[in-house]
Each structure stands twice: as C-alpha cells, then as structure tokens.
Structure 1
C-alpha cells in the first residue's frame, strides 16, 4: 500500500521527479532550503550582484542594472562549486549504487538551475526595466543565459575534479562558516564562467560594432547554446570522474587528505595555503586580486557599459579620459589586466597548494623508505 501511494505521488509530480534522478533532484531542492551552507549560497549571489550594480549610482550610472542577473549567476556558480564537499561523507551513498553517478550529477545540476535560474532571470528583467535602454537587453540576456548554463556545467565539474573536504553537515553545528577552504575553487570559477560568457558577448560586441541589430540579437541564442553545451558536456565529464575516482574522493572527505598522501605526519598537509604561504606570496596574491577587481570591473566593464549606453559622464574611468579612437583599446587593455590579475592570484594560490602536496608526498616516501630499511 505504501509502495502504491508513493508511486501515485511520483506520477502526480511529473516525469522530472521520477526515477533515480528525480529522487536526487527532490533531495537537492530540500537541501538548498534547509542546509545553512546552501542557504548562504542562495543569498550571496544576488546580494553580490545587487551591491555591484548599485555602487555606480554614486555617479548616476545605471547601465550596470541589466547585468545584475549575469553577475548573480556568476557569483552563485563560484560560491556553489563544492556541492559534493558540502555533503561530507554522505558521498558513500552514491558510490554504493554503481552506475547512478550520471543521474546524481544531472539532478544536482537541475536543482541548481531551479534555484538560481528564475532568480537571475528575474533580476535581469528588473534591471532592464529600471535602466530603460533596450540596446542593452540582448547583452544582458546573452550574458545571463551563458552564465547560467556555463555555471551549471562548470560548478558540478569543479566540485568533482577539485573537491574540497569539509565537515559532515551534522557536525557543522549549523554554522555556514564551518566548511572547507574553497577560495581556490572560487578563483577558478570566476575565470571559467567569464570564459563561458565570452562567445555570446563577443557576438553582441560584433553586432554593436558593425551596427547589425540581427547579429546583436543573435548573441542571445549563442548564449543559450553555449550554456546548453557546457551543461551537457561538463556534466558528463563530472559523471565520468565521479565514477572513476569516487573511492578516492570519499577517502579525501574522510581523512581531509588525498589518497596518494594518506597517513602523512606533516601538519602542513591539512593546512590551507593561506596559512603556510610566505608574507611576500600572500601580499602578491592579494595585490593581484585587487588589480583584477579594479581592472576588470570599474576600469573595464563599467566604462564599456557607459560607452554602450552613450552617457557623457567620464567620472574616474581612465578609458573615458583618452581621445575617442583610443577609448575602446584602453577598455580592452583594462579587461585583460583584470583577467590577468585574477589569474595571477590563482596561480600564487595553486603554486602554494602544489608545494604542500609535494612536501607531503616527499615525507610519505621517506617514511616508506625508512620502514623498508
């Protein structure tokens, strides 16, 4: 009787909720609203994007409003790229049912899109209405669709390939701050989501530069296509990695260290790179991060929006104070500087992380050699 009633409820819920994928999808939706760490992720993306586009109001600039959804999707992908790490050792539940990895991955992707898709699209719509300039609508839609689709594929892939161990949810004491160090993941996700948006925004820029409205609006289906390809392709990659390296990931979750460096006595192995890197490297990393933020956003994307909007305000944006023929090249240079700054910060972090792993491997080899002798 229980089975019959459960089956009837599944039928009433529709095909999306049936089978293995449907069960994980429902579990993920409940987790998004009940887990404090997930709830923090829901709040951070929209909050970051809204604050980002409201800040230029100091100068009366509103051209960033249409892009509030794209910024929110990018931040949501960056803050949610550790889904398996947030679940702790519950990963074993997936591994004990071989062949279900793809259903688990797809369900997590769909749940993320269900939570953030309508939210970011609504933010985009509100931003476009508040700004009132229809010329930026295709840019905003293309960027938002690409960020949503690209983010759903990238975050699930990164959460498997670059899993960061954290405490089991029942041990986190309901503290959103009690989880693993995901700074490296966030750096990486910012780069990758921005890269996923480039094809669509490139088509939009070409349509604007050539004064071809049809090409400008073609950026919207290009953004949708890019998002779908990222969602499908990278989801499949994540499923294969989960199937091939599932036991190693579970070991990482249980011990906090990779399987290849298990049982190492070095205390640095369990530390964050922020704790072990020298003061010079830490200063270099944060300086690169600051250069990335200033170059990409206030000196790159904001003057780009001002030029597209046709506003006469120059404010403190360098590109708008140079002669007209050089403004677009300066904008491009600032965007490159911003991306290079983010990449430099990530490379410093990654180098320190690799140093820790190399030192741990060397310690393990010495111990094995001593045991044999």
Structure 2
C-alpha cells in the first residue's frame, strides 16, 4: 500500500506541473470532449434502452483498449522501466502503477460516464438499484484501466520484432480508419439495431449486475484479478530495449553523396521499427478508410485510398529529422552539404510505388474517375516530398536517439503534443498542394493530370530548396535543439507555447477541429452529393434541399480552411524573442 500511495503522489506531482502551455490547451480540449461524451452517456442511461447503453459502454471499453495502442503507448507519466532498479516485485509494482493509473483526467471522465450504471439501476429497481451499482462502477472502471495497460504491454512485446511492428501497424491503421468512418457503422446499426453480443462483452457485465445478475459482478472481480496478474507478468518481461539482429550488415556503396543518403534512408525504412510501423499504418488506414463504405454497399470512396495513403504517410513522417535524433552532426561535419534531396528521393522511392499500386487497383475495382485520381497522385506525392523535410526543419520536435529508445520503439519523442500538432499541420498542407490539380481534373478532365505533374514537380523542387537553405543556415541550432530537447525560438510549437492562453486556445481549436468541416462535412459530403446519396448519417449537406447542398459544402470547406488559417495566423503572431 505504501508503494501505491507513493506512486500516486508522484503522478499527482507530475500532472500538476505538466498541464501548462500548449499541452495544457490540448488537455483542456480533450477534457471538454470527454465530458461531452460522458454527458451523452448519462443522458442515454436516463432515457434510452438498456441495449443501447450496453453498446455505448462497449465503445468506451474499446476506446480504453485501442486509444493508447493507436497513440503508440498511452499514458507513460510513470514509466515501469524507471523503477526497474528498486528491487520491487512485479505484482507490487503492478498494483502501485494501477493505483497511480486511476489518478488523472481520463479515469475521472470515464468514472463520470460509468455513473450511468447507477442511473440504470434506479430505473430498473428504484433506489435499491444503487447498491449493486457502486461496486459495479468501481470494478468496471478497474476493468477499463487494466485492459488498457495489458493492451499496451502486449503492444510493447509485439513491437520488439519487425513482424510485430507490421502487425501493430495493420491493427492500428484499421482501428483509426474505423473510428474515422464511424458513420458507416452507425448506418449499419440503423439497419440492424444494436447487436445482442454487447451483453456478453465485459463492458456490459456492470449493467447486468445492476439489473440483478450478481454472477456478472463476480465475473468482473475475477477478470480484474486475472488482468492484474497478466499486467504484472508483462511488466516483468518489458524491461530493456528491443533486441537487434546480430547478422552482419552490408556496407553502403554509392557513386555520389546523394546516392549514399538514399541508400542510408532506404535501409532505415527497412530496419527501423518505427518507420516500419508508420508505413504499414498509413497503408492500412488508407485501404480501410476507402473500403469501409463497402459494408453498406457503396464503393465511391474506394478510389481515394491512394491519395489518402500519401497524405497519411506524410503526416506520420512530418518530424523526419527529429526522429533521427542527434545524427544530424554527420551532415554538419560536411561544410556546405545537406541531405534534403537524398531524403526526398528515398521518401518517394518508398511511398510512390505503394501509392501507385493502391491507386490503380482501387480505382480499377470501383470504376472511379481516372482523371481525378491520376491528377491528385503526382500532385500529392510532390507536395508531400517537399513538405516533409521542410516542416521537419522548421517545426522540428526533439526526438529520442534510436539507440536510447525505451522498450516501446514507437515512443520516438517525449513531446507527443508537438508531434501531434506537426502531423495535423502536415495533413492540412499536403491536401492544399493537391487542390489545384483536383479542381483542374474536375473541370477539364485529363488536363488535370498535367497540372498535377507540374504542381508536384514545383513543390518537390521549391519546398526542398527552402528546406536546404534552412538546414544550411540553422543546422547548428537544430542540432542543439535535438541534443538538449529545447526547440529553437522559431519553431512553430515553441511560438505557439509563447502565445497568451486565449490565442493558444484559438490555435489548438483550429488545428484540432478544422479537419471536421473541411474533410467529412465538406470534401466527403461533396462525394455523396455527386453520387446522389441523400440524408446520410451525420453529413449535413446530404439533408439539405438540392438548391442548398453545394452552398453548404462550400461553406463547410471555407469554414475548415478559415479555422486552419486562424490557427496559423495565431502562430505567426507569436514573438520569436518571447518564444
């Protein structure tokens, strides 16, 4: 008990000093959304059928399991490896970390949602229904937290091999795509209702307990103990860094400096577990995102899989130089040299063939608009190849040197907020580079392909040149930032942190929510309108009269672009000296 209380106090101290600046703004946004979902759960507990409430709690459970897995490790405020030298037995450390895991905003928000069990108990049996609800709430919350910890532990073990990194990328990409296409599953539920299987999931056992099934309450207690034992066993095996292969490595042979950079980058793409995961994650997300509407019999989104893969791959690699850590000193030792062009060529060598196969295959299956997808593909590839090094040197987020990473190789930096903000910015900017080619293809057909080739080549050359100049002029400052973990004053995230809190909130709301009106309510809704799909799920434009559909789509796109523009404007207002 003393260990558990000590760890809980340690986490409270860490959280008290960490929710500041940009991270505090992101936390506030997350808390607001969490409380909104909790309020909706309580409303359903008071008004809806028990089957629907059981389905909602299943969603909460899946969020606890898959959320940390998708984010690459979840909450690591207290890392188990920090206590490896204290001589604590695994079950004592697991119990202490479990108690500490209940300290935080996420468990508090979930506890609020689980109060719906008490509401459901009162609806079923009157005031007496509160009695079984109290232990059910505690055990259900413990179940959520333990499932999350065990999932992260299993992920950490899986990521010690290339096969595990690939498998995790497939699962994580599919899960994120399913969450992004939640309207598809809502449409399925509208057709068939909530499946009865939700009662058999552990997330529904608490609801069964408040309805009089005490065996379900006992089952929750037993399952919690089993999960605690499993987590203790995972903690005992998770210490240490991933194993590396002992096979001899072939030397790099290249005829030029750029050729050597390309060869080095290609080997990194094939050997670095983080990059293995990024590539497979982007591919899995794109394919599942485009194929999800097939569940309701619509293949109109399938041709978008290739362009989506390019955009997602760019977002995941937006901190290209930061993930290499202090290896930048190798470039700095060569006066006047940069490796930007070599990195661009290597990035295209990895991404372009996969994007081409996915684009051609998905468009052939769906019979989509060939001019549009073939115009978007080169435009997005060129734009992404130029933006990846550019944003990486202008908004660099200090990363952990690959040889110093913990047992979870996906934890490439301690600044998850900075990585998330940089990835969102990359997604938006890459999409912008494809707009001219997309509009030209929609208006003039095959002429859009020429526009896509021209804009892609221009972005590749021009943005790459800007990145080269930045690297030559600010290379020592970037290396200092990676060595010390403190970003330079001109970095976008540092400028954002220097803003007053109201301006920070505006910027984070723009970066975090600008994609909602821009992509689903704007771009995706326009695809539905073109295919004469009406009154579909949560897409507002499909519910409008024919004369108002396109104005609503245009308004949503402009709203999304305005939100991103306001966020960028707030960042530009920050004083570099203050940052």
Q: Does TM-score exceed 0.5, indicating one fold? A: yes
Checking the alignment, whether the CA contact within 8 Å between 1:67 and 1:143 is kept in structure 2 is: no
1:36 aligns with 2:257: no
1:161 aligns with 2:394: yes
Provide the rounded CA distance (Å) in 1 between the counterparts of 2:297 and 2:569.
Answer: 37
Query: 48-57 vs 329-338, which deviates more?
Result: 48-57
Corresponding residue to 1:251 among 460, 477, 480:
480
Provide the rounded CA distance (Å) in 1 between the counterparts of 2:569 and 2:315.
Answer: 17
Corresponding residue to 1:140 among 373, 379, 388:
373
Provide the rounded CA distance (Å) in 1 between the counterparts of 2:365 and 2:514.
Answer: 28
- Partner residue of 2:527? 305
Checking the alignment, whether the CA contact within 8 Å between 2:521 and 2:556 is kept in structure 1 is: yes
Checking the alignment, whether the CA contact within 8 Å between 1:81 and 1:156 is kept in structure 2 is: yes
Provide the rounded CA distance (Å) in 1 between the counterparts of 2:536 and 2:556.
Answer: 16
Q: Secondary structure at the match of 1:182?
A: helix
Corresponding residue to 2:552 among 324, 330, 346:
330
1:189 aligns with 2:426: yes
Unaligned runs of 5+ in 1: 1-5, 11-16, 207-214, 262-268, 361-373
State how 1:217-256 maps to structure 2 within 5 Å.
217-256=446-485
Corresponding residue to 1:315 among 509, 519, 536:
536
1:172 Cα deviation from its structure 2 partner: 1.0
- Partner residue of 2:562? 340
Residue deviations 1:94-147 (CA, integer Å, cap 9, x gap) = 01011221xx111100111011101111111121022123xx111111112111
Decide whether aligned partners of structure 1 residues 251 and 167 sit closer, same or farther in structure 2, where only a CA change above 3 A counts. same
Q: Secondary structure at the match of 2:412?
A: coil
Decide whether aligned partners of structure 1 residues 61 and 84 sit closer, same or farther in structure 2, where only a CA change above 3 A counts. same
Corresponding residue to 2:302 among 54, 65, 69:
65
Corresponding residue to 1:108 among 315, 336, 343:
343
State how 1:204-223 maps to structure 2 within 5 Å.
204-206=441-443, 215-223=444-452
Corresponding residue to 1:178 among 412, 428, 432:
412
Corresponding residue to 1:126 among 338, 357, 361:
361
Decide whether aligned partners of structure 1 residues 283 and 97 sit closer, same or farther in structure 2, where only a CA change above 3 A counts. closer
For normalisation by structure 1, the TM-score amounts to 0.77
1:290 Cα deviation from its structure 2 partner: 6.2
Decide whether aligned partners of structure 1 residues 158 and 237 sit closer, same or farther in structure 2, where only a CA change above 3 A counts. same
Checking the alignment, whether the CA contact within 8 Å between 2:425 and 2:511 is kept in structure 1 is: no
- Partner residue of 1:94? 331
Checking the alignment, whether the CA contact within 8 Å between 1:20 and 1:100 is kept in structure 2 is: no
1:117 aligns with 2:352: yes
Checking the alignment, whether the CA contact within 8 Å between 1:290 and 1:341 is kept in structure 2 is: no
Decide whether aligned partners of structure 1 residues 290 and 78 sit closer, same or farther in structure 2, where only a CA change above 3 A counts. closer
1:57 Cα deviation from its structure 2 partner: 3.5
Provide the rounded CA distance (Å) in 2 between the counterparts of 1:329 and 1:260.
Answer: 42
1:183 Cα deviation from its structure 2 partner: 2.0
Decide whether aligned partners of structure 1 residues 259 and 291 sit closer, same or farther in structure 2, where only a CA change above 3 A counts. closer
For normalisation by structure 2, the TM-score amounts to 0.51
Q: How many residues matched?
A: 323
Residue deviations 1:244-294 (CA, integer Å, cap 9, x gap) = 111111111111224669xxxxxxx99x95xx996x888766755564333
Decide whether aligned partners of structure 1 residues 204 and 329 sit closer, same or farther in structure 2, where only a CA change above 3 A counts. farther
Provide the rounded CA distance (Å) in 1 between the counterparts of 2:261 and 2:304.
Answer: 32
Decide whether aligned partners of structure 1 residues 141 and 18 sit closer, same or farther in structure 2, where only a CA change above 3 A counts. same
Provide the rounded CA distance (Å) in 1 between the counterparts of 2:447 and 2:488.
Answer: 47
Corresponding residue to 1:76 among 286, 298, 313:
313
1:37 Cα deviation from its structure 2 partner: 2.2
Query: 50-59 vs 168-177, which deviates more?
Result: 50-59
Q: Secondary structure at the match of 2:446?
A: helix
Decide whether aligned partners of structure 1 residues 178 and 115 sit closer, same or farther in structure 2, where only a CA change above 3 A counts. same
- Partner residue of 1:371? none
Checking the alignment, whether the CA contact within 8 Å between 1:291 and 1:337 is kept in structure 2 is: no
Provide the rounded CA distance (Å) in 2 between the counterparts of 1:55 and 1:288.
Answer: 27
Provide the rounded CA distance (Å) in 2 between the counterparts of 1:291 and 1:175.
Answer: 29
Provide the rounded CA distance (Å) in 2 between the counterparts of 1:248 and 1:31.
Answer: 24
Provide the rounded CA distance (Å) in 1 between the counterparts of 2:390 and 2:489.
Answer: 21
